[in-house]
Amino acid sequence: MSSESAGPILSVQGLKKHFPVRAGRRIRGVRPRVKAVDGVDFHIMEGETLGLVGESGCGKTTVGRLILRLIDPTAGKIVFEGRDVSDIPTAGLMEYRRQVQIIFQDPYSSLNPRMAVGKAIAEPLISHGLAGKHEAFARAMELLAFMGLSEHHFHRYPHEFSGGQRQRIGIARALSLRPRLIVADEPVSALDVSIQAQIINLLEEIRAGFGMTYLFISHDLGVVRHISDRVAVMYLGRVVELAGTEALFEKPLHPYTEALLSAVPVTHPRERRKRILLKGDVPSPLGLPPGCAFHTRCHYAMAVCRNQRPEFRETEPGRLAACHLLDKPST
Amino acid sequence: MEKKRGMVRIVFRRLVKRRTAAAGLIVFVFMILVALLADYIAPYGPNDMLDDMQYKAPSAAHPMGTDMLGRDVLSRVIHGSRVSLAVGLVSMIAASLLGIPLGIVSGYYGGWIDQIFMRVVDVLLAFPVFLLAIMIMVVLSPSAANVAVALSIVYVPRYMRLVRGVVLSIREHEYIEAARALGVRPWRIFLFHILPNCLAPVMVMVTISVGVAIIAEASLSFLGMGTQPPMPSWGSDLRESLNTMELNPWLALFPGLAILLTVLAINMLGDGLRDAIDPRLKQ
Amino acid sequence: MSEALVEISGLKTHFFTEDGVVRAVDGVDLSIRAGETLGLVGESGCGKTVTAKSILRLIPEPPGRIVAGRILFQGRDVLGLSKKELRRELRGNRIAMIFQDPMTSLNPVYTVGNQLSEVFRIHRGLGRRRALAESAAALGGVGIASPERMILEYPHRFSGGMRQRAMIAMALACHPLLLIADEPSTALDVTIQAQILELMRGLKRELGTAILLITHNLGVVAEMADRIAVMYAGHVVESSEAMDFFDRPLHPYSTGLLHSFPGRADRRGRLTPIPGTIPDLIQPPPGCRFHPRCDRVMPRCRQDFPPIFDLPGGRQVRCWLYEQ
């Protein structure tokens, strides 16, 4: 890879987020907690797209919110361009917000229904004091044009637009501050297939044109495979595998990744195949099983998996995973 | 740039499509005009006592008759509208101006601020509107202005609670999260993101509570705690008509009708407003 | 060739709203053979759900109405049945339906056993105790562990996947001839989706139920469907055997759909999305409704609405490109 002097633009170390359960009873004096994120490590290089996949409850959305500091981490560090932003005060936070932005999943609730879309796009610039009203409005109109919308859409309200258009407006808004990194939280999941393709192409254009770095959060493996350079797979608050996209899809190392890829519907009836079906449902993040979080559903579970949490480490060059199966016997 | 296509216009169009709401609006506007132009349209002053004209039944010269002091009832009703409408509108607008910001802060920040505010609100809400108003009027000296003050105080907690509820539900909406993520400062979030989305239910509540306030003012005046004679007020006129109601029913009829019509119109308007704003806009 | 179980001809279901008449389904012909799985594919607003609901006459009467067409089930005219016959014979009995969102399709204030046994009591006339026993058996049949215990639980104790299984159990309780599944796995995680689809396949093998599978997900139809019908703006635009469809889609919209599908497209290449958006169903464009977005549009398409053309191999397409 590139020289060590160009470090990652974003690096996350030992990140944890535990939510206390308000109404829960204390067990041995400790209030039960939902361990939404339970020790996550990864980094993203500038200009790359890291896909973050997992099913509901795996914590990927929480990771996105943590990186944006919309919620505060319980433990761990978030390092952006070499600076620790895990608990900076408000002033520093404002500056950070100019660099890191977010695109939301639901185009219907991520825009203020009572604010004209042009103003919504211009607002961040005004609020940060980076531009006066006129300048900000002008820039908003430029962005609207870039999104394929026209000037006279400036004064319209969100309900007058389709889902795909609203998503473009949301993207324009995120771009208004010219961020370096964008967290895309399921940006196409709520859209029809043909509109999804339009938005994905748009995101790629932005990447090429602005050198944008993405953390692309999604449960849709097809989309992730298409757009990501590397992929991290999460399960119950932990990253279980991280590798280059093709490597991951061709040869998954972790049993969960294997099952996940197997579950994806085929793309042609001819390819109908026998699948690896997992037993049962995802356990509740409230009562995490001891040891490896996945062992209750794993076909390959061994005794050690029940007791000891596997370490997330490099098992092959450029590939990381957390699984006892991959531990080489010591020579 | 193209002209704004506001929500206001859409709502207004929807509103007038429904007949009850349109009727309510017309009557309400009519009442307001009457109040504003009272001096010009009333045939007599409210306190002009005409010789030998006491207790006259309605006639061509006096369509609503005259009262015990020979005053033209029509003129008194017309002038009385000023007090009723002024008290009703002012008290509710004041209550909302105070209640809305408090409700927003309470709902958005939660925590101990919310706890304290809501406990106070709970205590105040435990008293029925009218009872609390009476209690406050006992402390303040009776007058139309003080009635407005009392009703404001009574209604502030109600607006707070309403707004807080709305804020709680929209607080979790992604556009609020988006605003925070974009680094929009809290006061801007309150003013441009939260407030506009609260206005719809608040407007409906204002409209309907004006009706309640008008009745409350009339009732307080009726009890002698509100507008004092000789100031014309529908409520106090009703009070004074009590003694001779059997013989001179028109003295009670017309002020009573005025109250009825105004409040009915306001209610129909409020209902229509609620329907016009509600889910239709969220297509 | 097995006789058609369901035969829909010229179905038109319109919605009369304040803003105008929404022609959600505007002339649809469909047939489903006994025991086959028909995948009804299209994006939102194309009319697939409305078509399905029309079969069971579940369209809310204002503002909707079935204004034209004929629906035959086992040769009988569904639209002519009385409400009572509809309820007793078809709904829940010979035709069952499951819906997309498992979180809201079960009533939260009744136990799952209560809701399941309702089907047995109504349609098979069983008494309470027997109905409950059958319910437990049904839950077991869909792969829910400890069914005797689970029937006493309320829906909120069931996960999304379990609820969908319970829905399937309810739907199949009376061994219906047709199961209408409206986006049955869309709201589920992909590993749970795989379980549910596998379950449906197994049950279909066992019971020989025909399935009308409505979805926008081409992967799901690739997994499950014997035949595929594609809908756009209120019409069926293509219909073929699944294998033929994926080998060589005929209608330009079908081709566009398949190419917008990441995972099929060559990786890292640009996807070729279909430009534009779905048309307004109150005032659809003249001629072929897809023409404004079609990359193979001809002058005729802009004026004349294409009829359905029959092609060899049982394929049908509604497109002027295929006029012989």
- Among residues A18, A173, A198, which one has the least CA distance to residue A111? A173
b vs e for B185-208, b when ≥16 Cβ sit within 10 Å of the residue's Cβ? eeeebbebbbbebbbbbbbbbbbb
3-state secondary structure of A244: strand
Residue C266: predicted pLDDT = 46
**A247 part of contact set with chain C, CB < 8 Å:** no
pLDDT at C224 over 50: yes
Average pLDDT, chain B: 85
pLDDT of residue A234: 95
- Mark which residues 292-321 of C lie under 8 Å from A by CB: none
- Calpha distance B151→B213 (Å, rounded): 7
Cβ-proximal residues to A89 (8 Å cutoff; 6+ apart), any chain:
none
pLDDT tier at B164, thresholds 50, 70, 90? very high
Average pLDDT, chain C: 88
Find residue C70's DSSP bridge partners: C9
- pLDDT of amino acid C252: 93
Choose the most confident range, by mean pLDDT, from B168-177, C33-42, C139-148. C33-42
Helices (H), C58-189: 83-85, 112-124, 128-141, 147-150, 160-172
Residues of A in contact with C275 (CB under 8 A): 198
Residue pLDDT, tens place only, C164-195: 889 999 888 888 999 999 988 887 888 888 88
3-state secondary structure of B104: helix
Residue among C184, C225, C12 nearest C98 (CA)? C184
- Whether residues A267 and C218 touch (CB distance < 8 A) is answered with yes
The predicted structure's pLDDT at residue B6: 59
Q: Does A264 touch chain C (CB under 8 A)?
A: yes
Kindly state the average pLDDT of the residues A36-65.
Answer: 92
* Gap between the Cα atoms of A290 and A307, Å rounded: 6
CATH code of residue B269: 1.10.3720.10
- Judge whether A143 is closer than 8 Å to chain B, CB to CB: no
Q: Residue A329 has what pLDDT?
A: 61
CA contacts within 13 A on the Cβ side of A10:
29
What ipTM goes with this model? 0.82
Tell me which chain A residue has its CA closest to the CA of residue B281. A159
Whether the predicted pLDDT of B282 surpasses 60: no
Per-residue pLDDT at C1: 42
The residues, any chain, with a CB within 8 Å of residue C178's CB and separated by 6 or more, are: C5, C6, C32, C73, C94, C95, C96, C209, C210, C211, C212
Whether B134 and B220 have beta carbons less than 8 Å apart is answered as yes
pLDDT of residue B255: 87
Helical segments of chain C, H only: 48-55, 83-85, 112-124, 128-141, 147-150, 160-172, 190-207, 218-224, 242-247, 252-260
Give counts: helices (H), strands (E), chain C: 10, 12
| Residue C218 to residue C285: CA distance in whole angstroms | 26
Using the Cβ of B7 and the Cβ atoms of chain A, whether some distance falls under 8 Å is answered with yes
Q: Are C195 and A278 within 8 A, CB to CB?
A: yes
CA distance A290 to C192: 23
Task: Taking residues A10-32, report their average pLDDT.
Answer: 78
Pick B53 or A128 by higher pLDDT: A128
pLDDT at B83: 87
Instruction: Please tell me the distance in Å from A235's CA to the nearest CA on chain C.
Output: 12
Residues 6+ apart with CB under 8 A from B270: B24, B204, B207, B208, B211
C-alpha angle C7-C11-C14 in degrees, rounded to nearest 5? 150
- Residue B30's domain comprises 2-282
Taking the Cβ of residue B197 and every Cβ of chain A, the question of whether any pair is shorter than 8 Å is answered with yes
pLDDT tops 80 at residue A281: no
CA distances from residue A161 to A113, A164, A166, B235 in whole angstroms, order as listed: 11, 8, 6, 52
Tell the residue number behind the tokens 């639209």, with chain if given.
C79
Give the count of beta carbons closer than 10 Å to the beta carbon of residue A309: 17
**SS3 state of residue C181:** strand
- Provide the domain count of chain B: 1
Chain centroid, CA B83 distance in Å = 12
Q: In this model, does residue A330 exceed pLDDT 50?
A: no
Which residues does chain B have within 8 Å of residue A107's beta carbon, measured at their own beta carbons?
none
Q: How confident is the model at residue C67 (pLDDT cuts 50, 70, 90)?
A: very high
Arithmetic mean of pLDDT over chain A: 87
* pLDDT at position A13 over 90: yes
Q: Given CB atoms, is A179 within the 8 Å cutoff of chain B? A: no
Distance CA A247, CA A231 (A): 9
| Cα–Cα distance, B77 to C124 (Å, whole number) | 71
Q: What percent of chain B is modeled with pLDDT above 90? A: 25
Please check the confidence at residue B129 and state whether its pLDDT lies above 90: no
The pLDDT value recorded for residue B234 is 86
In this structure, are residues B125 and B153 in contact, taking their beta carbons and an 8 Å threshold?
A: no
d(CA B44, CA B66): 11
Residue B29 CA to residue B257 CA, distance in Å, equals 17
Condensed to tens digits (0 to 9), the pLDDT of residues B76-88 reads: 889 988 888 899 8
Q: Is the pLDDT of residue A88 over 70?
A: yes
Cross-chain residue pair B197–A113, CB shorter than 8 Å: yes
Of C189, C216, C273, the CB nearest to A219: C189
Enumerate domains of chain A plus CATH numbers. 8-114+157-327 (3.40.50.300)
Mean pLDDT in residue range B46-70: 81
Can you tell me the mean pLDDT for C57-75? Answer: 89
Please state the rounded mean pLDDT for residues B104-131: 91
In 3D space, the residue among C219, C276, C248 whose CA is nearest the CA of residue C39 turns out to be C219
Q: What is the pLDDT of residue A87?
A: 81
State whether A102 and B181 contact (CB < 8 Å): yes
Q: What is the pLDDT of residues A157-209, one digit of tens each?
A: 898 888 889 999 999 999 999 999 999 999 988 888 888 888 999 999 999 99
Interface of C with A in 191-250 (CB under 8 A): 191-195, 197-198, 216-220, 222-223, 225, 242-243, 246-247
Q: In this predicted model, what pLDDT tens digit does every residue of C84-116 receive, in sequence order?
A: 888 888 887 889 999 888 778 888 889 999 999
Determine the distance in angstroms separating the CA of A70 from the nearest CA of chain B, rounded to an integer: 7
- Selection from B250, B258, B261 nearest residue B233 by Cα: B258
Q: Which of C44, C220, C259 sits opposite A265 (nearest CB)?
A: C220
Model confidence at B219, pLDDT cuts 50, 70, 90, reads confident
Place of tokens 């006029």: C323
